Structure 1
Amino acid sequence: MSDQNITPKETTTPTQVSPLRCITGAIISSGLAYTLYSLMIAIATNFASKPLHSQNELVIKISSAVRTLVVGIVALGSGIFGIVAIGLIALAVQLLIQQLSAKPKSN
C-alpha cells in the first residue's frame, strides 16, 4: 500500500575551486558573452535595415517595443556572461594570491 520511492543516496564529493577551473570558466563565459554580443549587433543591424511599412500607429508602437525587447534580452544575456567572466577572473586572482601567501608547512 505504501510504496516508497527509495533511491540510493548519492555521495557527491565537493570539487575544489582552483585558479585553473576559474580561468576555464571565464574563457567559456567570455566566449558566450562575445557570441551573444555579435548576435545582438546582427539583430540590431537587421532591424535597422528593414524599416516598418505601416500606417497604423499601434502596429508601429508594438513592433518597436518588440524589437527593443529582443535586442535588450540578448544584450542582457551578453552582459551577464561578461560579468560572470570578470568575476571568475577576479576569483582566480584571489585564489592565486591566497596560495602564494599561504605559509608552507615545515616539519
Structure 2
Amino acid sequence: MNESKTTEETPTTTETPTSPLRSLTGAVISGGLGYAMYNLMITIATNFANKPIHSDNPVTLRISSLIRTAIVGMIGLGTTVFCVVALGLFALTIQLILEQKKQKEVDG
C-alpha cells in the first residue's frame, strides 16, 4: 500500500467588510420576509377559524386542534425570527453609521 502524500489546499475566503448599505439591505430583505410570513400566518389562522372540524370523535378533534396550533405556531416562530433579524441588522446599520461619524471626527 503506497501512500502518496497529497497537499490539500485550503480555500482562502475573502471576507467582505461590513457596511451600512449591506446591513440595511439585509434588514429590508429580512423585514420583507417577516411581513410576508406574518400575512401568511394571519391567512392560515383565519382559514382554520372559518372552517371548523366536523367530527364527533374527541381524539380526532384533539389531534386536528394540535396540528392546526402547531402549523400556526411554527409560522409565527419563523415570523418572529425574521423580524428579530431585521431589527438586529437595522441596529447594526445605525451602529456602523455612528462609528463612521466618530472616525471622521477623529481623523479631522
The TM-score, its normalising length taken from structure 1, stands at 0.90
Correspondences of 1:92-103 after superposition (within 5 Å): 92-102=93-103, 103=106
Q: Does 1:81 pair with 2:82?
A: yes
Displacement after TM superposition at 1:19 (Å): 0.4
Cα 1:10–1:55 change in 2 (3 A) is same
Alpha-carbon shift at residue 14 of structure 1 (Å): 1.2
Equivalent pairs counted in the alignment come to 105
Structure 2, gaps ≥5 residues long: none
Are positions 1:41 and 2:42 aligned together? yes
Letter in 2 for 1:74: I
Give CA deviations for 1:2-54 in whole Å, capped at 9, x if unaligned. Answer: 47886532111111011000000001100100110011011101111110000
In 1, Cα distance between equivalents of 2:38 and 2:54: 28
User: One-letter code of the match for 1:104?
Assistant: D
Identity of aligned residues (%): 49
Change (3 A) 1:86 1:56: same
Q: CA RMSD in A?
A: 1.7
In structure 1, what is the Cα distance between the partners aligned to 2:33 and 2:48? 22
